[in-house]
């Protein structure tokens, strides 16, 4: 049987715990796990389902007597070591500890003491992230090692191997906590760490996407309480925290797999290779009008990889478990957003229930889904669901992969009638497909793709253009840690190198990007540019919510404007090796009577009548 998690053992006042009747004292506890470990009063949906795991629980009857809490019933599954208890917590229920007795005939086998907490004031009204924000994406194991003492723990399989690109390097929550000032000073307002939940796998566990316990922060990152303290400290500095949620799969060392609740808890006919299929990655099957049933089934039900079993969200008990787990972390940790990994791979009907439940509890919250495709129609499909009850998903935001590829291709490729900057222009023109393109999350790099600087042939001029684009384009910008100091990688996918250590995050590092010590001139210039531009962006409503108008590229130049009733921003790119003078008359419909503009980074003044773009440069100008 599985241990109680550290949260339950360490803080009995904040978690579910169990005691047995005196008659059972000599026997092992029949109940070993209750999830969620506690809950809250005042939730919009009163229903709560407890997963109870232990020894021979099937057939036990539950009893409780607590004002405002109704026992709706219990559900057993084919594995007798599980019992699901359905409760209804009315609005009148007061915070406190309710006792749930598990009885076998007239004998009480165990009593679960379950805590209902008071919901924090204003929790339901919390604001999610939006286009006024800028997100800093961190791979926690590779950012900073703030607490070397947790690098190796007695209850986890994989130890630290910093010399190995695919090994654990020791970064943790304490490291992120210690450098909140740096993140805020760079102009960012939200932090998205890759998953922090337990990944107790024998190898390659640092990335966080092979979860083995849904209610436990991996001890090599810290504890549940340390995560909550990190979020609270971030809020004090004007930073929200977005949790990376994995709905589609788990790690093959998840505690469920040693005692699976039911045969249909996971997709596939078994846990041995050959008894399940690997997903075909055919992302179009949910909306392809001509798709075959087998293709659709293999996409949704196929495993991501052999070490990541695919969860069957058509099982209502599992679906409810995942929904409650997401709500638990939002409420417990005080999150400001969710990033949903491999979004389209999950069952579409489940996704709709999951997103609707979160929206009901937190109407102003935001979720961004990952749909990794170059095709904007597919991304638009998932965003469209928010106002379409017949469409699974119902998300406000999606990762804008099509514009990501347009950005990289547009800057890296030479300019012609069908390549180079035209890719940026036409990529943006696809916005007619989206119901609200300003809600899309735009990015130049992330943890799954080559480093931006390397993809742009380590060209500082092109890198500067990419940063200007991400900081001024419509949508919600997301920036990958270390790109500000030009971290490099191969152009092909190499996860361990892409997720390299942030300079200065470990004692003894030769350079320190947090302080600037040991950085090259190019690195310092890049970091200063990112800092200046994103701090300016934070205070510029025309970039957050203003209109956008762009002009077709000419002579390796591309110009667009962001503007509202009180401000106009001009962004002008010149990829050519020669200065390019812009014709004011061409942009008159936006410029109107303006004659002067100020570079938002350098403060330099420019006359719009004689505006000349320097070679291989970008100007971000505030018209005044």
- pLDDT digits 0-9 by tens, 347-364: 999 999 999 999 999 999
Question: Which pLDDT score is estimated for 18?
Answer: 43
CB distance 261 to 79 below 8 Å = yes
Question: Which pLDDT score is estimated for 385?
Answer: 56
Backbone CA torsion sign across 482, 486, 492, 496: negative
Q: What is the mean pLDDT of residues 553-571?
A: 97
Two tokens, residue 335: 């999150």
CB distance 207 to 257 below 8 Å = no
Two tokens, residue 315: 């099982």
Outline where DSSP puts E strands in 229-281.
240-245
Question: Which pLDDT score is estimated for 98?
Answer: 96
Instruction: Give the residue among 160, 124, 155 at the shortest CA–CA distance from 142.
Output: 160
Using the predicted structure, report yes or no on whether residue 13 has a pLDDT greater than 90.
no
pLDDT band at 23 (very low <50, low <70, confident <90, very high): very low
Give the fold, CATH level 3, of 135-237+445-539. Answer: TIM Barrel (3.20.20)
Residue 266 CA to residue 309 CA, distance in Å, equals 7
CB distance 608 to 594 below 8 Å = yes
Residue with tokens 């990944």: 199
pLDDT band at 270 (very low <50, low <70, confident <90, very high): confident
Residue 129 CA to residue 190 CA, distance in Å, equals 7
**What's this model's pTM, rounded to 2 decimal places?**
0.94
Tell me how far CA of residue 508 lies from CA of 209, 503, 567, in angstroms: 29, 10, 47
Q: What is the mean pLDDT of residues 385-403?
A: 76
Phi-psi region of 308 (alpha: psi -120 to 50; beta: other; left: phi over 0): beta
Phi first, then psi: give them for residue 405, nearest 5 degrees.
Answer: -70, -35
Residue 270 CA to residue 475 CA, distance in Å, equals 43
Using the predicted structure, report yes or no on whether residue 57 has a pLDDT greater than 50.
yes
Is the peptide bond prior to 123 cis by the omega test (within 30 degrees of 0)?
no
For residue range 309-347, list pLDDT tens digits in order: 999 999 999 999 999 999 999 999 999 999 999 999 999
Please state whether beta strands 367-369 and 397-398 pair in parallel, antiparallel, or not at all (unpaired).
parallel
For residue range 130-175, list pLDDT tens digits in order: 999 999 999 999 999 999 999 999 999 999 999 999 999 999 999 9
pLDDT band at 286 (very low <50, low <70, confident <90, very high): confident
Using the predicted structure, report yes or no on whether residue 448 has a pLDDT greater than 90.
yes
Residue 126 CA to residue 363 CA, distance in Å, equals 8
CB distance 527 to 485 below 8 Å = yes
Using the predicted structure, report yes or no on whether residue 393 has a pLDDT greater than 70.
no
Two tokens, residue 240: 């929200």
The catalytic residues are 341, 370
Residue 356 CA to residue 369 CA, distance in Å, equals 14
Using the predicted structure, report yes or no on whether residue 104 has a pLDDT greater than 70.
yes
Two tokens, residue 262: 């039911």
Residues near 457 by Cβ (< 8 Å), separated by ≥ 6? 412
Max Cα-Cα span within the chain:
92
Tell me how far CA of residue 296 lies from CA of 289, 299, 300, 398, 497, in angstroms: 11, 5, 6, 22, 34
Domain 546-623 CATH assignment equals 2.60.40.1180: yes
Length of the chain, in residues: 624
Instruction: Give the residue among 440, 447, 518, 534 at the shortest CA–CA distance from 482.
Output: 447
309 secondary structure, DSSP code: P
Average pLDDT, the chain: 93
Two tokens, residue 484: 């500000």
Using the predicted structure, report yes or no on whether residue 20 has a pLDDT greater than 70.
no
3-state secondary structure 176-239: HHHCHHHHHHCCCCEEEECCCEECCCCCCCCCCCCCCEEEEECCCCCCHHHHHHHHHHHHHCCC
Write out the H or E segment, with its range, that includes residue 522: helix 521-538
Percent of the chain with pLDDT over 90: 91
Question: Which pLDDT score is estimated for 386?
Answer: 54
Domain with CATH 2.60.40.1180 in the chain: 546-623
Instruction: Give the residue among 201, 224, 208 at the shortest CA–CA distance from 137.
Output: 208
Q: What is the mean pLDDT of residues 366-375?
A: 97
Domain with CATH 3.20.20.80 in the chain: 135-237+445-539
Q: What is the mean pLDDT of residues 387-402?
A: 77
pLDDT band at 4 (very low <50, low <70, confident <90, very high): very low
Residues near 523 by Cβ (< 8 Å), separated by ≥ 6? 485, 486, 513
pLDDT band at 391 (very low <50, low <70, confident <90, very high): low
Residue with tokens 């934070």: 538
Give the CA radius of gyration of the chain.
26
Q: Lowest mean pLDDT of 36-50, 384-398, 570-584, name the range.
A: 384-398
Q: What is the mean pLDDT of residues 496-507?
A: 98
Helix axes 401-412, 376-384, angle to 10 degrees: 150
Two tokens, residue 231: 């979020």
Percent of the chain with pLDDT over 70: 94
CB distance 510 to 474 below 8 Å = no
Residue with tokens 């005080």: 334
Phi first, then psi: give them for residue 138, nearest 5 degrees.
Answer: -125, 135
Phi-psi region of 2 (alpha: psi -120 to 50; beta: other; left: phi over 0): beta
Give, in degrees to the nearest 5, the angle at Cα 246 between 274 and 289.
Answer: 70
Residue 119 CA to residue 57 CA, distance in Å, equals 31
Residue 100 CA to residue 299 CA, distance in Å, equals 41
Question: Which pLDDT score is estimated for 8?
Answer: 35
Two tokens, residue 153: 């723990």
For residue range 210-228, list pLDDT tens digits in order: 999 999 999 999 999 999 9
Is the peptide bond prior to 36 cis by the omega test (within 30 degrees of 0)?
yes
Q: Coil, helix or strand for 407? A: helix
249 secondary structure, DSSP code: B
Question: Which pLDDT score is estimated for 287?
Answer: 87
Residue 426 CA to residue 403 CA, distance in Å, equals 10
Residue 115 CA to residue 9 CA, distance in Å, equals 14
Task: Give me the half-sphere count of Cα atoms (radius 13 Å) on the Cβ side of residue 313.
Answer: 24
Task: Give me the half-sphere count of Cα atoms (radius 13 Å) on the Cβ side of residue 617.
Answer: 13
Question: Which pLDDT score is estimated for 312?
Answer: 97
CB distance 481 to 139 below 8 Å = yes
Instruction: Give the residue among 166, 174, 164, 165 at the shortest CA–CA distance from 196.
Output: 174
Residue 7 CA to residue 16 CA, distance in Å, equals 9
- The CATH class of 6-119 is mainly beta
């Amino acid at each position: 049987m599985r241990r109680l998690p550290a949260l339950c053992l360490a803080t009995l006042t904040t978690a579910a715990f169990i005691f047995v009747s005196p008659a059972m004292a000599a026997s092992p506890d029949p109940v070993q796990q209750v999830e969620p470990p506690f809950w809250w009063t005042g939730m919009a949906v009163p229903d709560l389902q407890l997963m109870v795991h232990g020894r021979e629980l099937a057939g036990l009857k539950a009893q409780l007597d607590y004002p405002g809490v109704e026992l709706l019933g219990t559900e057993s599954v084919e594995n007798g070591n599980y019992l699901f208890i359905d409760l209804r917590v009315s609005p009148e229920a007061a915070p406190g500890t309710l006792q749930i007795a598990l009885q076998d005939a007239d004998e009480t086998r165990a009593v679960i003491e379950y805590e209902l907490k008071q919901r924090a004031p204003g929790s339901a009204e919390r604001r999610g992230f939006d286009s006024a924000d800028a997100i800093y994406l961190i791979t926690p194991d590779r950012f900073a090692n703030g607490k070397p003492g947790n690098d190796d723990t007695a209850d986890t399989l994989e130890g630290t191997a910093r010399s190995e690109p695919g090994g654990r390097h020791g970064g943790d929550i304490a490291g992120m906590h210690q450098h909140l000032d740096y993140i805020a000073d760079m102009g960012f307002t939200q932090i998205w760490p890759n998953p922090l939940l337990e990944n107790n796998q024998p190898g390659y566990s640092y990335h966080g996407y092979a979860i083995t316990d849904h209610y436990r922060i991996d001890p090599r990152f810290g504890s549940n309480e340390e995560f909550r303290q990190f979020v609270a400290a971030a809020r004090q500095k004007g930073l929200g925290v977005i949790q990376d949620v994995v709905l589609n799969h788990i790690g093959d060392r998840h505690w469920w797999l040693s005692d699976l609740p039911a045969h249909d808890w996971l997709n596939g006919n078994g846990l041995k290779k050959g008894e399940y299929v690997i997903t075909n990655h055919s992302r179009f099957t949910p909306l392809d009008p001509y798709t075959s049933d087998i293709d659709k089934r293999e996409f949704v039900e196929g495993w991501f990889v052999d070490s990541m079993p695919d969860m069957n969200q058509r099982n209502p008990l599992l679906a409810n478990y995942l929904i409650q787990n997401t709500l638990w972390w939002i409420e417990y940790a005080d999150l400001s957003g969710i990033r949903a990994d491999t979004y389209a791979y999950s069952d579409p009907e489940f996704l709709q229930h999951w997103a609707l439940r979160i929206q009901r509890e937190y109407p102003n919250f935001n979720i961004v889904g990952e749909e990794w495709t170059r095709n904007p129609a597919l991304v638009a499909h998932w965003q469209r669901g928010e106002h379409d009850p017949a469409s699974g998903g119902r998300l406000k935001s999606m990762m804008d992969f099509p514009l990501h590829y347009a950005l990289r291709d547009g800057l890296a490729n030479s300019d012609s009638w069908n390549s180079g900057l035209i890719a940026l222009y036409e990529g943006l023109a696809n916005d007619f497909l989206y119901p609200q393109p300003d809600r899309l999350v735009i990015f130049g790099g992330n943890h799954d793709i080559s480093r931006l600087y390397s993809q742009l042939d380590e060209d500082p001029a092109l890198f500067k253009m990419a940063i200007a684009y991400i900081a001024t384009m419509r949508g919600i910008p997301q920036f990958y840690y270390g790109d500000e100091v030009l971290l490099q990688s191969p152009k092909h996918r190499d996860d361990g190198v892409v997720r390299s250590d942030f300079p200065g995050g470990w004692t003894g590092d030769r350079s320190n990007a947090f302080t600037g010590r040991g950085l090259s001139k190019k690195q310092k210039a890049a970091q200063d540019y990112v800092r200046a531009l994103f701090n300016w962006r934070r205070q510029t409503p025309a970039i957050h919510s203003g209109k956008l108008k762009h002009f077709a590229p000419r002579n390796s130049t591309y110009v667009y404007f962001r503007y509202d009733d009180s401000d106009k921003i001009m962004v002008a790119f010149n990829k050519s090796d020669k200065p390019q003078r812009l014709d004011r008359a061409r942009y008159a419909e936006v410029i109107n009577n303006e004659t002067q503009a100020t570079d938002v980074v350098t403060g330099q003044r420019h006359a719009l009548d004689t505006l000349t773009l320097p070679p291989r440069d970008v100007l971000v100008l505030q018209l005044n």
